[in-house]
Structure 1
Amino acid sequence: MRDRVTEAVPELVAAAVAAPSMHNAQPWRFVHHTESGVLSLYGDPDRTLPVGDPEHRGLHLGCGAGLFNLRVAAAHRGWDAVAETFPDRRDPWRLADVMLEESGTGPSDRALADLFPAVENRHTSRAPFTDEQIPPEIFDELCAAALLEGARLAVPSGWHADDLVDLVHDAELHEAASDLMQAEIIAWTRTGRAGEGPETEGVPAYAFGPRQHDVKVPVRDFGLPRNTERRATATFEERPQLAVLGTEADTPADWLRAGQAMERILLEATRDGLATSMMSQPLEWPELRSMARDPASGLGFVHMVFRLGYGPAAAATPRRPVADVLTVV
């Protein structure tokens, strides 16, 4: 088993790094301990976002999403990925140790394995969605996916949905007024101009999506700081269909748990034929984050706002090679 795991580790890590992360910063690294067979997931302190993510909550969400993809890839091979989170209290960057074991035949393992094709097919879409309504049973399925990972998904309606859209636009005003935030976004966008970062990370211009004609839908416009005037303009859906992910508490363990729930929701949605995007803008400002929570929903702390619907397939954004994020010792 150990030799087979060693051979499979690069493939498992390739699935893990297909996960989304804030500004596509890919804030993870992996260490495979060949003697013990443990695969360790670390947050990468060199890939933090000091302005947009000063507490590293977004980093934990991204790494949690990567951990979930790793579990899915292991299940696809017929293995269980048994994860111990925060195994070393002396090292807060060591987020999880994963031991790969021969799998049983429980339905939960098959459910994970069935999500494997969606790992490659899931991409963030900043394009317009149609006005077609998502069936309630699909939202029920997504809510159940969150519960399986120890989180909760709420589907806002009425005043709360309107407030979320307003909060995103309030966050955009905060963002536009912050030179530091603008500089950080520019540092993680790629337009082909000289002096930009590597093409294997960050948000490329083709993933910005079109400009909004009516500026109603909560989609982050990565092109605004660079004033990319050549982008096309489009009319987006009249009423975006949103969902809010949260947990009862707000600790690093909750963030890592929420990241796994986030990815499970995204993969389930992708398998169901939905297009997806995420909005963290209002959650990056403490004075706005608390307002994203509906007191009647029972959510303690909000970690992500999803925009879901039916729309064109989005292109994949780049990822760093596995050799850059995996160390074998």
Structure 2
Amino acid sequence: MRDRVTEVVPALVAAAVAAPSMHNAQPWRFVHHTETGVLSLYGDPDRALPAGDPDGRGMHLGCGAALFNLRVAAAEAGWEAVTETLPDRNDPWRLADVALREPAGDFPDRALAELGPAVRARHTSRLPFSDERIPPEIFDELCAAALLEGARLAVPSGWHAEDLVDLVHDAELHESASDLMQAEIAAWTRMGRAGEGSVAEGVPAYAFGPRQHDVKVPVRDFGLSQDSRRRPTATFEEHPQLAVLGTESDRPADWLRAGQAMERVLLVATEDGLATSLMSQPLEWPELRSMARDPASGMGFVHMVFRLGYGPPAAATPRRPVADVLTVV
């Protein structure tokens, strides 16, 4: 069995690294312990974002999403992934241990396994969405997906939805006034010219999306300060459809839980034919993050804002090869 586990580990890691992460920094690394068969997930401090993510919450979200993808891939391959988060109190970078087991029944978690195609199909879209409204039953399904991972998904309406859009634009003003933030974004984006930036990480120019005519939709404009004249303009949806993900408390364990819930929501949305994008801008500023929460909600802390809708498929962004992120000991 140990040899079988060793054989499947690269495929599991390949699925894990398809997860989204802030600026596509891919802040994870994996260690496979061959003696025990345990696959450990670590946060990578060398890929931290000190300006946009000073407390590491965003890193935990990305790593939590990678952990969820790994669980999906294990189930799709016929394994049960027994997961322990934050297993070593003396090593805060060791975020999870995963042990593969033969499933107790005839089949592992079927709902997880069925999300396998969505792992490969999900890509962040900064393209315009149509004005077609998402049926309430799909939002109900997305809320249920978040609950399965111990988080809550809320669908804002009225003043709350308008406030969220305003908060994203407020965050952009904060961002434009911060030299540190601007330098960090520039370090993780590239215009795609020969020899400029890594081809295996960050956000390439083709993923920026078009510029908006009226700037109503809360989409991060990575390329605004980087030769934006080369980018076409487009009309986006009049009323963006948003959702907010949160947990009751705000500790590293909650961040990992929220990351897994975030990815489950994204994969279920992809399976339902939705285009998706993530908006962390207002959550990167403490003075704005608290305002993203509906005070009448039981949600204690907001971790992510989703933009959802119907639109054309987005292109995949680069990922580092498995050999760069997996160590076998």
TM-score by length of 2: 0.98
Listed one character per residue, the Cα deviations across residues 158-190 of structure 1 (whole Å, up to 9, x for unaligned) are 000000000000000001111111110000002
Query: Which residue of structure 1 lines up, in the alignment, with residue 262 of structure 2?
Result: 262
Secondary structure class of the residue paired with 1:156: coil
**In structure 2, how many angstroms separate the alpha carbons of the residues matched to 1:2 and 1:157?**
51
**In structure 1, how many angstroms separate the alpha carbons of the residues matched to 2:106 and 2:273?**
26
Listed one character per residue, the Cα deviations across residues 256-314 of structure 1 (whole Å, up to 9, x for unaligned) are 00000000000000000000000000000000000000012211000000000000000
**Could you tell me whether the CA contact under 8 Å between 2:75 and 2:108 is conserved in 1?**
no
**In structure 1, how many angstroms separate the alpha carbons of the residues matched to 2:315 and 2:195?**
24
Q: CA deviation at 1:24?
A: 0.1
Structure 1 gap segments, 5+ residues each: none
Q: CA deviation at 1:224?
A: 1.2
Query: Which residue of structure 1 lines up, in the alignment, with residue 99 of structure 2?
Result: 99
**In structure 2, how many angstroms separate the alpha carbons of the residues matched to 1:107 and 1:163?**
45
Secondary structure class of the residue paired with 1:132: coil
Query: Which residue of structure 1 lines up, in the alignment, with residue 77 of structure 2?
Result: 77
**Could you tell me whether the CA contact under 8 Å between 1:190 and 1:199 is conserved in 2?**
no
Secondary structure class of the residue paired with 1:236: coil
Query: Which residue of structure 2 lines up, in the alignment, with residue 203 of structure 1?
Result: 203
Structure 2 gap segments, 5+ residues each: none
**In structure 1, how many angstroms separate the alpha carbons of the residues matched to 2:295 and 2:104?**
40
**In structure 2, how many angstroms separate the alpha carbons of the residues matched to 1:297 and 1:213?**
34
Letter in 2 for 1:270: T
**In structure 2, how many angstroms separate the alpha carbons of the residues matched to 1:290 and 1:154?**
15
**In structure 2, how many angstroms separate the alpha carbons of the residues matched to 1:239 and 1:15?**
33
RMSD: 1.1
Query: Which residue of structure 2 lines up, in the alignment, with residue 61 of structure 1?
Result: 61
**Could you tell me whether the CA contact under 8 Å between 2:78 and 2:108 is conserved in 1?**
no
Listed one character per residue, the Cα deviations across residues 61-116 of structure 1 (whole Å, up to 9, x for unaligned) are 00000000000000001111111111111100000010000113488800000000
**In structure 1, how many angstroms separate the alpha carbons of the residues matched to 2:293 and 2:196?**
37
Secondary structure class of the residue paired with 2:127: coil
Secondary structure class of the residue paired with 1:224: coil
Listed one character per residue, the Cα deviations across residues 17-42 of structure 1 (whole Å, up to 9, x for unaligned) are 00000000000000000010000000
Secondary structure class of the residue paired with 1:41: strand
**Could you tell me whether the CA contact under 8 Å between 2:80 and 2:108 is conserved in 1?**
no
Detail structure 1 runs of 4+ shifted over 2 Å in the superposition: 104-108, 192-197
The percent identity for this pair of structures is 84
Q: CA deviation at 1:194?
A: 6.4
**5 Å matches for 1:236-255?**
236-255=236-255
**1:316 matches 2:316:** yes
Secondary structure class of the residue paired with 2:74: helix
